Amino acid sequence: MEFLVSGETSKLRSVVIGIADSLGEIPSLKELYDPKSIENLKKGTYPIESDMVKELESFVVLLEKYNVKVYRPNLIKDYNQIFSRDIGFVIDNFFFKSNILPKREKEFRGLSSILSNFHNKIITMPQNLHIEGGDVLYHSNTIFVGYYDNDDYSDLFTARTNKAALDYFIEFFPEKKVKGFHLNKSLTNPKKNILHLDCCLQIIGKNKAIIHPEAFTFKDDYLWLVDFFGKQNIFEISDIEMYDMTSNVLSINDNTVISQPKFKRLNNWLKYQNLNVEEIDLSEVSKQEGLFRCTSLPLIRYDE
């Protein structure tokens, strides 16, 4: 088999869905690396492993209903392997191994037997380049890269992709448009922290997008998106909706979107746009600041 992802909404054919089995003990505050998880731990609402296992299983069942080949990572005992999107991503025929937070570096081992089924070369990027798959979207021969480049980068565990990553992809894909988006970050306020680009931007259908305008450090980046998609094709979300992960839906194809039941405003808009909406509840998973896109790593996705 060959890796092939031709776009964000092309037909999904095979995907890795994360697992919540064997997470180990509930972590301490110092072991967490996103403000939403920290918030839920402090509130006593940190998600329970068995609940997240059930939610992810329901996600798999739905995908298989659409004849998607679903892989699950090999189990690493007492380790969080829920968010498969971040540890690697595919653009065209290239699988890029992410350079992720040191606390998460073992996650890639869970993919080894899956990736051995594919013949393409896996790209290992330079160590000075930091990137996670949630910061990369691909649509219409354009690569969207979320990044952070302020002086306090090294002090922020919420800064996952740096300017070196953006520069790398500009050089790697000279024939494509590579557009960077500088994202706002916070260590303490999950309603102001944009962990990844897919927490504030998602492409749906053939030419539509979900966007949180306040996510971008520079207003010109938001205006670029308005020009790219057209104002009439954009669903704008508030900071509360961003916090709820409303942009972190997943397209099975350019006509079908997987979304949360609670996203009523979004789901009604999607239906008004003549898109099919499949609703699955991943509320417990979302307490760790990730949802449908974060838990899925497409390996093959293309239209006929």
Q: What is the full per-residue pLDDT of the chain (304 aa) written as tens digits?
A: 999 999 999 999 999 999 999 988 888 988 888 899 999 999 999 999 999 999 999 999 999 999 999 999 999 999 999 999 999 999 999 999 999 888 888 999 999 999 999 998 899 999 999 999 999 999 999 999 999 999 999 999 999 999 999 999 999 999 999 999 999 999 999 999 999 999 999 999 999 999 999 999 999 999 999 999 999 999 999 999 999 999 999 999 999 999 999 999 999 999 999 999 999 999 999 999 999 999 999 999 999 8
Predicted pLDDT at 85:
97
Q: Which domains does the chain have, with CATH numbers?
A: 4-301 (3.75.10.10)
Predicted pLDDT at 72:
98
Sign of the four-CA dihedral 150, 89, 298, 229:
positive
Residue 299 in contact with residue 91, Cβ under 8 Å? Answer: no
Sign of the four-CA dihedral 220, 140, 248, 86:
negative
Predicted pLDDT at 71:
98
Predicted pLDDT at 101:
82
Predicted pLDDT at 86:
93
Structural element, H or E, at residue 65: helix 49-65
Residue 35 in contact with residue 188, Cβ under 8 Å? Answer: yes
Predicted pLDDT at 105:
85
Other CB atoms closer than 10 Å to residue 278's CB: what's the count?
A: 18
Predicted pLDDT at 88:
96
Backbone angles phi, psi at 283, to 5 degrees: -60, -40
